[in-house]
Amino acid sequence: MIRRSLPTLLAAAVLAPGAAHAASIAYIDNGEVWLASLDGTRKARLATPVVNSGGATERWLDVAQSDGGRIVAVRNEPGKIARLSTYRIWEPDGTSTVQGPLTSPAGWAIYAYPLGFDITADGKHLVYGFSNSSGCCPINFQQGIYVHLADGNVLDPIVITGQQYPSLVGQRIVAASGSTVSVQNAGTGEPYGSQFTPWLDTSGTGLDLRRTDVSANGRVAAFEAEQWSGGQQTVGKIGVIATQGIDQAVTFPAAVDCYIPASGVAKEASISPDGTRIAWTDAQGLKVAGTPATADDPCVLTAAPVVISASGTH
């Protein structure tokens, strides 16, 4: 997750003095949480895997960073059900006092989450996608989004069905429904509202839509398009499109409309709040580059890709 506000104490470890407002990227590397400058030259490890009370090691699985500088990461023991996941939050001053369970309502036999993970701009709510199923017979399924207060409580989250793979623009959720990117309606109790408006149709790609990320200024969107075969992802592309805000229809031809040049399967797209940088992972690792400014395809990047970590994700 790329953000412009770097936590103050962490800046001392990552960036030179006086650069507390420089851009940073939070990511997962071998089960650890890391923060790095966008050129990859300065890095700080925020958390290592945790040994729980049973003696098992819980690895960090996903991370998000709010526009205000709050960082949240989720961890679990390999092979354990998603309901045993927990999260930890780092404040903008570098302290960490909030942690708790990443909860879900009871009643399902199999839980899969987080499928998409983000934190609102004010740092007060977590959103994460899920895909759950019941026991036999018949087998029932439910897919959607959980919204949870980021205060360490053990309460069940609010459930929003019909949408998947959430990300956030401010307090509002951007999510996938089939091949359509939809935006949570304003003024409906976001991020709790269940009313969404279709925003971008990706059916023309011929691939399955996964997660979308939109810059905080609403000017750039990146979507992940994929294809699976035999349980393995065989195709992963990241499309980048110039937009006029999440309340304005995406019009074509767009000033930017292209696929990121990548090595192998590309996924896990993240756009900086000001829309000038894009991060993703592919066969070469976690990369950061300048967002494209033209409709040339593949994308002509305004700054060459930098590999932050060959084993970095999310």
Mean predicted confidence (pLDDT) in 117-126: 97
- For 202, residues 6+ apart whose C-beta sits below 8 A from its C-beta are 179, 180, 181, 209, 223, 225, 239
- For 210, residues 6+ apart whose C-beta sits below 8 A from its C-beta are 165, 176, 223, 224, 225, 226, 267
The structure's pTM equals 0.93
Q: What is the pLDDT of residue 19?
A: 35
* Residue 3, beta-bridge partner list: 24
Distance CA 5, CA 122 (A): 12
- Report the alpha-carbon angle 265-260-38, nearest 5: 95
pLDDT band at residue 124 using 50, 70 and 90 as cut-offs: very high
pLDDT band at residue 22 using 50, 70 and 90 as cut-offs: low
pLDDT band at residue 127 using 50, 70 and 90 as cut-offs: very high
Mean predicted confidence (pLDDT) in 78-96: 94
Q: What is the pLDDT of residue 292?
A: 98
Distance CA 82, CA 49 (A): 17
Cα separations (Å) of 286 from 31, 187, 213, 255, 279? 14, 36, 16, 26, 7
Q: What is the pLDDT of residue 3?
A: 62
pLDDT band at residue 6 using 50, 70 and 90 as cut-offs: very low
Q: What is the pLDDT of residue 93?
A: 83
Q: What is the pLDDT of residue 94?
A: 81
